A and B are shown apart, each in its own frame.
Chain A
């Protein structure tokens, strides 16, 4: 069963077609990768799906319901949550409070969980991403790698069905990358579908079951990591025409 269906989505900015008639489906429980060179429209596509931009054309279905043009905060409550390529922690708040806000926002501030329950849940999630020992620090005290994981923790606290990670390994050291990959895998194991935008091939080839490739806003390929890594169009897009040796 598909958790996300994107049908013919187009988004333009003035004369620039950032996303051009892109369609794809993500089935429940998989890790789906989106790759493409800089400016291919990956983040724009994320912004459209997560409700930050309204598509010019096309429709989006989440968990069987149409969500085209829905507001981001409503989508988060429905179970579709995204993270940001350039991390946006609430710097002036404690790490624990960063995660608590997600719980309050999605479960309600008056009804919802009791305070003890909310704190227990937040600590559980921080433990899951390996940040529990940092819970009482201000988020601004965290190094970049931990901010990336806080970003994931905060998104997980919304209790998503679909988690969209925008370059979770961007700017990380190889060790930190392994940690993030491990978190992504464990998120999937807990039953959450994951979509990852990534630049780093090692990460994407490692964790994704299926990959979609964008170039200049168009979808140029979709398939398993093996299929993608031998795909003619993809090699041309990444390395340029002259690197593609026919019949290799």
Chain B
């Protein structure tokens, strides 16, 4: 894929196969754990996809939840109005999210730093307002209940949490594996070059606008996929999933996990989701806690959780 050697593909694949195998027995821990694990996995896809944009290409986005929502609504509406199978709808949701990604990505090509952040924030709000106000299509703030589940395959019924868990696991492992390959590919290194210095990248022949749009397409596609899975799992969606606070939640995962590392945001998604479960009784304070965590991480561990783990591994390795 895009100039990446077979050796790298196989080496990377090994880790993902091991991770997937290790996660197979998890549903034995009960329904609640399975449920949390599914949501965590969907968030890991979103946080990792956001990292392509924020961490690798250096394009701050405060509107990622909007693309998650576009994916969720697209798949839902296709299934409920046109009877499209959710198996196809999920991918259609990813593509629709990418189209929205283009709508935001192309006009914001020249924006940098805080201006880009404001544009993406504004776009997220626009999507949220559309979901609320197009009530003939989206039922507005009421949301859409009774979304069809993933159609069963033979005797496997995906209304069952355990069955869905394996679907989510498969999607998560494949998505993050593909994103991982992207970061190791030629395109991935060009993304980093753009992040480090746009003008220098231009001067050595990088078609900077093209690659920025490419990063937007990829990041929004996977957010859309994850949104589609979410819709057919919870079987209820509302405009709440596209709010600014959701976008900030996703960005917190990416930053606290360690942006520009891909695996960091995955860890960020796990830690923050578990934190949210643990702090359920203090829910109104959660943004306060995330804010504090972001400040502390940026100040002391700019590479986030990933950086902390790396530091420990180095120390452990140095002791030998």
Tell me the A residues contacting B by CB distance below 8 Å: 50, 52, 71-73, 76-77, 81-84, 88-93, 97-98, 100-102, 104-106, 109-110, 112, 115, 154-155, 157-158
Contacts and interface: CB of A to CB of B under 8 A. Distances in A.
A93 B3 contact: no
Contact of A97 (B2, B5, B189, B201): B189
Nearest to B8: A115
A76 B204 contact: yes
Contacts of A92: 192, 195-196, 260
Contacts of A91: 196
Interface stretch (B129-137, B155-163, B205-213): B205-213
Given A88-B197, A97-B189, A101-B189, A115 B204 contact: no
A101 B2 contact: no
B111 interface: no
A112 B206 CA distance: 14
A50 B203 contact: yes
B199 A52 contact: yes
B135 to A, nearest CB: 45
B84 interface: no
Given A90-B197, A92-B196, A101 B3 contact: no
Interface residues of B, number: 25
B5 A115 contact: yes
A82 to B, nearest CB: 6
Given A97-B189, A109-B185, A73 B202 contact: yes
A94 B190 CA distance: 13
Interface in B1-55: 2-5
Contacts of A110: 2-3
Interface of B: 2-5, 185-187, 189-190, 192-193, 195-197, 199-208, 260
A52 B197 CA distance: 14
Given A109-B186, A157-B204, 19 more contacts: A52-B202, A72-B202, A73-B203, A77-B205, A90-B196, A90-B201, A91-B196, A93-B192, A93-B196, A101-B190, A102-B204, A104-B3, A105-B201, A105-B204, A105-B205, A110-B2, A112-B3, A115-B3, A158-B205
B203 A76 contact: yes
A81 B203 contact: yes
Contacts of B5: 115
Contacts of A112: 3
Contacts of A101: 189-190, 193, 201, 204, 206
Q: Which of B4, B203, B207 has the most CB of A within 10 A?
A: B203
Contacts of A97: 189, 192
A73 B205 contact: yes
B190 A109 contact: yes
Contacts of A115: 3-5
A73 B186 contact: no
A48 to B, nearest CB: 14
Contacts of A89: 196-197, 200
